[in-house]
Amino acid sequence: MYPDDLTFIDLFAGIGGTRIAFERTGFKCIWSCDWDIDAQNVYELNFGERPLGDIRKIPSSAIPYHDILIAGFPCPSFSIIGNRKGLDDEEGSMFFEIERIIREKKPFAFLLENVAGLTNINGGKTLKFMLNCLEKLDYSVHWDVLNALNFGLSQKRERIIIVGFLKNLKFKFPEGFKKENYLSDILEDDNEVDRSFWASERIRKKRIESVKGKNIFYPSIWHENKSGNVSILPYSCALRSKASHNYLLVNGVRRLTPLEMLRLQGFPEDFKLTGNYSIFRKLTGNSVPIPMIEEVAKQMLKSISEGIILPKLKQYELVEVL
């Protein structure tokens, strides 16, 4: 079986990180959606097509038949810095839109991605409920929490990955690969970074006071947690779209540049962004670690190739979305 025989749709597509991972593995994207206009602008700039909008307004008949569904559905409802209402708010309820599409289109496989905090919402009951919903649709379901640090990136970013197959195939999550994650490989020279990225003198002095007695080394990223404690790290903590602008400071003095944020997620050097700095933070903070997702995609392809020969699915013409 050749991977380009397999198609996928890109739900809650963001700026296309998951798409890049699956296309690198050889799969073909045939449809995408995302309700964020800023994300749509960047996606269109890089892929030449504009994702459709709010999935709740898109009938299943407007979605083409596909082999694999991928969805990095909204995470604030499950994040430690979000409201942690789980499935009980607008963003958390997007899981039910995924369930609807899987039920009606019956893709052979799916990959869902979210924050690691999903594992302990309501004492784990929310995750158990979601897994049961997927299993009731006749899928064999596998899940694990993976960390971007183990996949060649200088970012500690833990994400739950849920993979399912219509057939009970053997599947093993990737263990990652050994590679030194040097900040020096992704950081720009402080002396060449525009002064607009530098924290105020007050913030810099406050950070210096916070790390007295600690081992200060360079290059480093200084992370301030919710309680105000500052850690000096040889990697970045997870990019977060709604965190303080000074949540992460390079060498304790400046914010990450757009290029650095893209590199921390594994985007190609020629990837384009459009908008202002707040938009860049939001879009990169909501994206995925591409090398990590790519390794999962490879394992999915391995399982499919060894377990079944898929017929080519008929691609139906899209109907107009009201």
Among residues 33, 75, 133, 237, which one is catalytic?
Answer: 75
- For the cut 50, the answer to whether the pLDDT of residue 317 exceeds it is no
Residues 49 and 171 placed together within one structural domain of the fold: yes
- Residue 321 domain flag: no
Give the Å distances, CA to CA, from 106 to 167, 240, 271: 12, 33, 33
pLDDT digits (tens, 9 = 90+) for 43-62: 999 999 999 999 999 999 99
- Residue 121 domain flag: yes
- Residue 314 domain flag: no
Residues 11 and 141 placed together within one structural domain of the fold: yes
CATH number, domain with residue 157: 3.40.50.150
Residues 118 and 11 placed together within one structural domain of the fold: yes
Residue type at position 162:
I
Residues 111 and 219 placed together within one structural domain of the fold: no
- Residue 54 domain flag: yes
- For the cut 50, the answer to whether the pLDDT of residue 319 exceeds it is no
Residues 279 and 291 placed together within one structural domain of the fold: no
In terms of residue numbers, what domain contains 170? 3-177+287-307
Tell me, what's the pLDDT at 85?
Answer: 54
Q: pLDDT band for 316, please (50, 70, 90 cuts).
A: very low
- Please, what is the angle between helix 17-25 and helix 290-307, to 10°? 40
Residue 127: which region, alpha, beta or left (left: phi > 0; alpha: psi -120 to 50)?
alpha
Which two three-digit tokens encode residue 269? 């050097």
Q: How many domains does the chain have?
A: 2
Residues 128 and 18 placed together within one structural domain of the fold: yes
Provide CB contacts within 8 A for 37, sequence distance 6+. none
CATH number, domain with residue 275: 3.90.120
Residues 123 and 36 placed together within one structural domain of the fold: yes
- Please, what is the angle between helix 94-105 and helix 125-135, to 10°? 20
- Residue 317 domain flag: no
pLDDT digits (tens, 9 = 90+) for 86-100: 555 555 689 999 999
Side-chain half-sphere of 215: how many Cα atoms within 13 Å?
A: 4
- For the cut 90, the answer to whether the pLDDT of residue 130 exceeds it is yes
- Residue 204 domain flag: yes
pLDDT digits (tens, 9 = 90+) for 231-269: 999 999 999 988 888 999 999 999 999 999 999 999 999
Q: pLDDT band for 1, please (50, 70, 90 cuts).
A: very low
Residues 204 and 277 placed together within one structural domain of the fold: yes
- Residue 192 domain flag: yes
Residues 21 and 140 placed together within one structural domain of the fold: yes
Of 16, 41, 42, 40, the residue nearest 29 (C-alpha): 16
User: Where are the alpha helices (H) located in 191-317, listed in sequence order?
Assistant: 201-210, 258-264, 277-285, 290-307
Residues 120 and 8 placed together within one structural domain of the fold: yes
Question: What's the average model confidence in pLDDT over 191-218?
Answer: 95
- Residue 318 domain flag: no
Residues 124 and 193 placed together within one structural domain of the fold: no
pLDDT digits (tens, 9 = 90+) for 206-236: 999 999 999 999 999 999 998 889 999 999 9
Residues 136 and 67 placed together within one structural domain of the fold: yes
Active site residue 75: yes
